[in-house]
Amino acid sequence: MSIIEFKNVNKYYGKMHALKNINLTFEEGEVTTLIGPSGSGKSTLLRCINGLEKITDGHLHVFERDIADSNTDIRLVRQKIGMVFQHFELYPHMTVIQNVTLAPMRVLGLSEKEAIESAERYLTRVNMWDKKDAYPDNLSGGQKQRVAIARGLAMTPDAMLFDEPTSALDPETIVDVLDVMKDIAQKDGMTMIVVTHEMNFAREVANRTIFMKDGEIIEDRPSEEFFENPKDERARNFINQVFAY
Ligand SMILES: Nc1ncnc2c1ncn2[C@@H]1O[C@H](COP(=O)(O)OP(=O)(O)OP(=O)(O)O)[C@@H](O)[C@H]1O
């Protein structure tokens, strides 16, 4: 059974047709990258999955719940799906450990002791336990993003969405974040959907690559095959451009 299912999904922002008749399914344990030029609808597609954007028409089921149905409790869906944003979205007035323990205590009902134990496990995993008492403003972008990933993992999600997680980072910190993501994909078998411009991550870590342009899915194939031989000219041009330097 697919965990995410798009059927004839359209999304408009006013007159802008951002997603055009999307039909897609995602399976448990898959690592998928969404790639394509700026403005092709990648973030919109990702954000529809956890209800941050509303679809205009069509059907979208996530963990068997109809996302477009106003009776669906979107919080239950979000509990199962972690989200990592480009700009981290950490609470600046809270320390690292407070950021990571907040939702597990409030939403999952963990005691403080349990939440701290869990935070230790995940912050150690992303090599940030030694910074547990630091405030986000005193961390590099890459460190903040690793905390954001630990915060997502601490909710023990069934899937994780990443929206350009390395686009706002200095080049020297990108690799640390990608290594953490690779580790989660390979050791945990986490279901991951990653919007990224990091083609080497797409090629080497993701099982599947979806290439989008102008709100449409142009190619959707195993990453190895896709990068070996993009079939569509638009995909070929894109790949040639991004690997040109
Ligand atoms: N909140 C919004 N209101 C109006 N238009 C929007 C909004 N969000 C996105 N768009 C438009 O929808 C289209 C798809 O945007 P989206 O951010 O999904 O693309 P993307 O492929 O993720 O691009 P990028 O790689 O630049 O982040 C773009 O033309 C964008 O300008």
Instruction: Quick: pLDDT tens for 83-110.
Output: 999 998 999 999 999 999 999 999 999 9
Q: What is the ipTM of this complex?
A: 0.96
What is the per-residue pLDDT across 108-134, written as a single tens digit (0 to 9) for each? 999 999 999 999 999 999 999 999 999
The CA distance from 70 to 153, in Å, is: 28
Tens digit of pLDDT for each residue in 23-58? 999 999 999 999 999 999 999 999 999 999 999 999
Q: Does the C-beta of 43 come closer than 6 Å to ligand 1?
A: yes
Ligand 1 center to residue 41 CA distance, Å? 6
Whether 54 is in the pocket of ligand 1, judged by its Cβ within 6 Å, is: no
Q: Which protein residue has the closest C-alpha to ligand 1 atom 7?
A: 13
**Ligand 1: which of 16, 166, 214 to mutate, judged by most atoms within 8 Å of the beta carbon?**
16
Cα–Cα nearest to 41, from 184, 223, 237, 215: 215
Are the C-beta atoms of 230 and 219 separated by less than 8 Å?
A: yes
141 within 8 A of 173, measured Cβ to Cβ: yes
pTM summary value:
0.95
Encoded tokens for 233: 């000219």
Domains defined along the chain, listed by start: 4-242 (3.40.50.300)
Q: What confidence tier does 245 reach under pLDDT thresholds 50, 70, 90?
A: low
> Considering only CA atoms, which residue is closest to atom 5 of ligand 1?
13
Cα–Cα distance measured from residue 58 to residue 150, given in angstroms and rounded to the nearest whole number: 34
35 Cβ below 6 A of ligand 1: no
Kindly give the residue spans of alpha helices, DSSP state H, lying in 134-215.
141-153, 171-188, 199-204
Residue 176 banded pLDDT, cuts 50, 70, 90 = very high
